[in-house]
Structure 1
Amino acid sequence: MRYDLTEIINCLPCSAGVYFFYDEKDELIYIGKSINIKKRVQQHFSGKDRKSLKIQLFTKRIACEVMGSELISLLYESDLIKKHQPLYNRSQRRTIYQYGLYKEDVNGYKGLIIEKIQSEKEEITSFTTLREAKSALFRITESYRLCQKINGLYKSSSSCFQYQLKECNGACVDKESKETYNSRVDAFLNKTTFEKFTKLFEVAGRTDDEKGIVYIENGVYKGFGFCSKETANEQRLSHIKSYQDNKDVRRILMRYLIGI
């Protein structure tokens, strides 16, 4: 059966969710996610890079599932790619994390440092590239009013640049007490602790009268689901569909928790 892809793309929802590309044998060749399915699929079919051109050549059918939120879209996409291993998701079948975020003592201040992944050390979270890691650490540093110099983002023998802009409290020149500074680092670290962490997250649903729910129990990701906004608290867990816990999922959840 032939499909008019232009017509299908025009009819795609502008909502958060997961989309699927199939070839002429109706075999799944690519899975993607976006906060705007229609816009992202249009980008695939207007792109000039090698991957986009292959997708344009071989895609004969498009489908999608609205998920309502970016978080559930990310979790669902990750699970589906591992399960189906589509041809053009090669780089996502087995993600390689090269860099980790580690805690390190810097003259009594708690520094957040990017280093190559070390098997003997437990990282706070991990990243695929150095650029991705630095971008995240800059945002964390700004959000918690930490010091770029202490976090290894600004090399200087004196104060960091942010101190000159009055966006750093002076830990870089020992003008902020270690206790006060470290309390803000601890606030960040407390958000990243999965051990014995049990929480039911509520996010946007697929419709206005629905909400999405994601469940972590004792530090283990259990899955996600959807329920009516009127569903009683004690009944929400019955709407959770079980999904596998793994490092990719924990990375997605960690980024959601710490807002990066």
Structure 2
Amino acid sequence: MIYSISRKQAFDNFIPKNILGVYYFISSEENIIYIGKSKDVGKRIQQHIKNGRKRMIYEFKKIKILKLNTELEALLFESQEIKKFLPIFNRKLRKTKNTISIYENITKYGYKFFDLNHCSSSPILEFISKRKAINYIIKISKEFNLCYKINNIEKFKDACFNYHLKDCFGACINLEDVERYNKRFDYSLSKIFKIPNDCKIIFEDNPHKTFVKIKNNRVISFGVKNLSNHKINYPSLDELKIVKIFQKKFNSTTIKKNK
């Protein structure tokens, strides 16, 4: 169900109560300027109006509310909508974070690697300092025999130091098969997120069952049994992080490995 709320209705708090879902602040030019989610959308909108960013509150003309079924469904749906519409105030909020992000990148030869950035659109993990982020990359690289040179831990012109110790299989000098190397990289991600590469996870969120399908370390679809089914059109690691966080909240989950 979709609700349309005028600016006046929003300021008068004339919003349906206890709606779980995703909401959109829309400007007079019909641009979506902010997307959020809440277990109580009306209450969250009032918080924006009272304490939110002044420019955003000044610019919005109306609010659209999409009613959904579970919190996890709303979180994943919100993530996809932000990637689709790229609202200006969602982007500004992300830029204010003073953290170092680890994100996935790929070399010109096709090898996947962990890279660092102050502001990544889809970080795997975030750290308060560059040193902590590098130490984590070193730990993962050592555990899964990932090349230190490819992961920018070492700066060598030719083979990395570990190659001479036979702890690297030669990806740094393009000797190791790319597919073989990337399989280890993908497996390291499943270790980070503690979620199998290919599976279906079902969350028992009374009275609903929210499902998430994962393939190659990416959420490919999600929904609520007998009610909804959403395809992931903008895949990233953000959705996997949401699922990982949600797993900690639920004791009642079922993981089925894909055949």
TM class, shorter-length? 0.5 to 0.7
- The counterpart of 1:46, out of the listed 47, 50, 57, is 50
Displacement after TM superposition at 1:241 (Å): 2.4
Change (3 A) 1:246 1:8: farther
Distance 1:93 1:82 in 2: 13
For residues 158-206 of structure 1, the C-alpha deviation after alignment (integer angstroms, 9 at most, x for no partner) is xxxxxxxxxxxxxxxxxxxxxxxxxxxxxxx97943343412323548x
Cα separation, 2, equivalents of 1:9 and 1:128: 39
The TM-score, its normalising length taken from structure 2, stands at: 0.52
Residue 246 (structure 2) aligns with = 256
Partner of 2:197: 196
C-alpha distance in 1 between matches for 2:16 and 2:127: 31
User: Distance in 2 between the 1:195 and 1:92 partners?
Assistant: 31
Q: 1:25 to 1:219 in 2, by over 3 A?
A: closer
Partner of 1:98 in structure 2?
100
Gaps of 5+ in 1: 101-117, 134-188, 230-238
**Aligned-partner SS, 1:46:** helix
Map 1:32-71 → 2, pairs under 5 A: 32-47=36-51, 51=53, 53-71=54-72
Alignment of 1:137-152 (within 5 A): none
- CA apart distance, 1:80: 0.8
C-alpha distance 31-203 of structure 1, shift in aligned 2 (>3 A) = farther
How many residues in Structure 1 have an aligned counterpart in Structure 2?
Answer: 169
Task: Give runs of aligned pairs for residues 109-188 of structure 1, distance below 5 A.
Answer: 119=115, 126-127=125-126, 129=128
Report the residue type matching 2:246 in the other structure: Y
Is the contact between residue 5 and residue 60 of structure 1 (CA under 8 Å) also seen in structure 2? no
SS of the equivalent of 2:225 reads strand
* Aligned counterpart for 2:9 among listed residues 5, 10, 15: 5
The sequence identity of aligned pairs, in percent, is 23
- 2: CA distance, partners of 1:3 / 1:83: 24
RMSD: 3.8
Amino acid at match of 1:72: E
Q: CA 1:16–1:224 in structure 2 vs 1: closer, same or farther (change >3 Å)?
A: same
Does the 8 Å CA contact 1:96/1:128 hold for their aligned counterparts? no
Structure 1 segment 222-241 matched on structure 2, within 5 A: 222-228=220-226, 240-241=229-230
Q: By how many angstroms is 1:35 displaced?
A: 1.8
Measure, in 2, the Cα distance between the counterparts of 1:217 and 1:8. Answer: 46
In the superposition, the TM-score normalised over structure 1's length comes to 0.52
For 1:242, the aligned partner's letter is K
Residue of structure 1 equivalent to 2:178: none
- Answer whether contact 2:220 2:231 (CA < 8 A) is retained: yes
Cα separation, partners in 2 of 1:96 and 1:38, compared to 1, 3 Å: same
- Secondary structure of 1:14's counterpart equals coil
CA drift of 1:247 comes to: 1.6
Q: Distance between the aligned counterparts of 1:223 and 1:96, measured in 2?
A: 31
Tell me, which stretches of 5 or more residues in structure 2 are unaligned? 1-5, 103-113, 117-123, 133-189, 251-259
Residue 15 of structure 1 aligns with an amino acid whose one-letter code is I
Aligned to 1:15: 19
C-alpha distance after superposition, 1:215-258 (max 9, x if no partner): 224643111123338xxxxxxxxx53210431211211121223
SS class of match (1:38): helix
